[in-house]
Amino acid sequence: MRAGLSLLVLGPCLLVSCALEVQASEGGETKLYDFLPDRKQPLDPETTADQSNGQTNTGPDIWAEVRMLRDMVVEQKVELRNMEARLREAEVQADEQKMDLLLTKTSLEDLKRDHAATEDRLRASEKQVEELKKVNMELRADLQSQAAELLSIEASVTVCDSELQLLTRRMDDLQAQSTAQEAELTSVMDRMNTTESRVNSLIKENAKVAFYAALTDPKGVGPYNTQTVLKFSKVFTNIGNAYSPTTGFFTAPVKGVYYFRFTVCGHTDEGGMGVQLFHNGRSIVFNLQGRHNLHFEYLSNAVTLELNVGDELHLVLPQGLAIFDNANNHSTFSGFLLFSI
């Protein structure tokens, strides 16, 4: 297409190319060369006319034809530029159409894939429908059998209804008897609670707890590799039997506030002496004294504790320590109930 346009533009120019060369300046002026014998002489129609004065002008007006050819060249150049612009637009449109075609092909391929997937799902759905039909037939058969069983059960229920009515009458009689027994039991429970509260108040009022015990007759106790429960085996007072000389534990018989006191003696040169008081397995007092040399030395302390029923209290000889006792009862443990709560 471009080659054809070039030939259209260059056709008229070839007619005068042997004698004329046209050059368009920025101001739109036109200069001619190779047409006159002297190229350096400027071309001016008036001057040329004056020089050729006296000669007969028998030929066509060459300058008019040159201007006409120049105008034709300019018009063809403009038309050529317009056609090139349209050609570029056409090429751009062609590229866009190619792109649209590619997008269309891609969309078509996607649609084909979607269609294939849809067909697969449809075939799977058809298989599921067939399976559901089979299951439905089985369920219908089961439903028919269950309906027959239901009829049989309804007959049995009718028989059971009459028996239930008899049982209901009997249950009403038993419920009346149970109501009377519940009222009687409630009355008994009230009397028992009253009696229990009276017994508890009497126990609190008459609760008497007091003990006093010495450690042992031998001279030294300890030191040991582990902590050891001290068993004050020489019991002088044990009102309420709350203290056990066999285990060394005091167990609170009633809830109340108790007072306890302990004294230990040291009379050896084998190391320090000390004692530890535990309440329900938790240490609450730990007394310790350093090394002593053949002299009687004592540790003494006392505590006041609020104990619940069953709370335990005991003394422990810590690891590596020693205490002393003999017939003079240098190490003792005692306690009593201040008041119940």
Digit-coded pLDDT (tens) for 209-255: 999 999 987 777 888 899 999 999 999 999 999 999 999 999 999 99
Together in a domain, 94 and 215? no
The predicted pLDDT at position 32 comes to 40
Q: Which of 153, 170, 187 is the last residue of a domain?
A: 170
Q: Which of 121, 143, 170 is the last residue of a domain?
A: 170
Together in a domain, 149 and 267? no
The predicted pLDDT at position 307 comes to 96
Specify the range with the lowest mean pLDDT, choosing from 35-49, 134-148, 191-205, 234-248.
35-49
Digit-coded pLDDT (tens) for 76-129: 999 999 999 999 999 999 999 999 899 989 989 989 998 999 889 989 988 988
Give the separation between CA 162 and CA 118, rounded to whole angstroms: 62
Give the separation between CA 251 and CA 170, rounded to whole angstroms: 54
User: Quick check: is 179 in a domain?
Assistant: no
User: Quick check: is 185 in a domain?
Assistant: no
User: Quick check: is 249 in a domain?
Assistant: yes
Together in a domain, 42 and 158? yes
User: Quick check: is 190 in a domain?
Assistant: no
Give the separation between CA 136 and CA 335, rounded to whole angstroms: 86
Q: What is the mean pLDDT of residues 195-204?
A: 65
Together in a domain, 223 and 133? no
Together in a domain, 253 and 332? yes
Dihedral sign for Cα atoms in the order 104, 109, 114, 116: positive
The predicted pLDDT at position 216 comes to 84
Q: What is the mean pLDDT of residues 142-162?
A: 86
User: Quick check: is 317 in a domain?
Assistant: yes
User: Quick check: is 56 in a domain?
Assistant: yes
pLDDT band at 296 (very low <50, low <70, confident <90, very high): confident
The strand ranges marked E within the chain are 21-24, 30-33, 210-214, 220-221, 228-229, 234-239, 250-251, 256-266, 273-279, 282-289, 297-307, 312-317, 323-324, 332-340
User: Quick check: is 324 in a domain?
Assistant: yes
Digit-coded pLDDT (tens) for 61-80: 899 889 899 999 999 999 99
Residue 9 C-beta-side C-alpha neighbours within 13 Å: 16
Output the domain CATH number for residue 235.
Answer: 2.60.120.40
Pick the more confident residue, 279 or 37: 279
Digit-coded pLDDT (tens) for 49-59: 454 444 445 45
Res. 22: pLDDT tops 60: no
Q: Which of 170, 192, 225 is the last residue of a domain?
A: 170
Quote the mean pLDDT of the chain: 81
Structural domain count, the chain:
2
Together in a domain, 238 and 94? no
Together in a domain, 218 and 145? no
User: Quick check: is 175 in a domain?
Assistant: no
Question: 69 is in which domain, residue-wise?
Answer: 1-170
Together in a domain, 228 and 105? no
Say whether pTM exceeds 0.85.
Answer: no
Res. 19: pLDDT tops 60: no
Together in a domain, 219 and 314? yes
Non-local (6+) Cβ contacts of 339 within 8 A are 256, 257
Together in a domain, 23 and 78? yes
Together in a domain, 260 and 323? yes
Q: What is the mean pLDDT of residues 168-190?
A: 88
Together in a domain, 323 and 219? yes
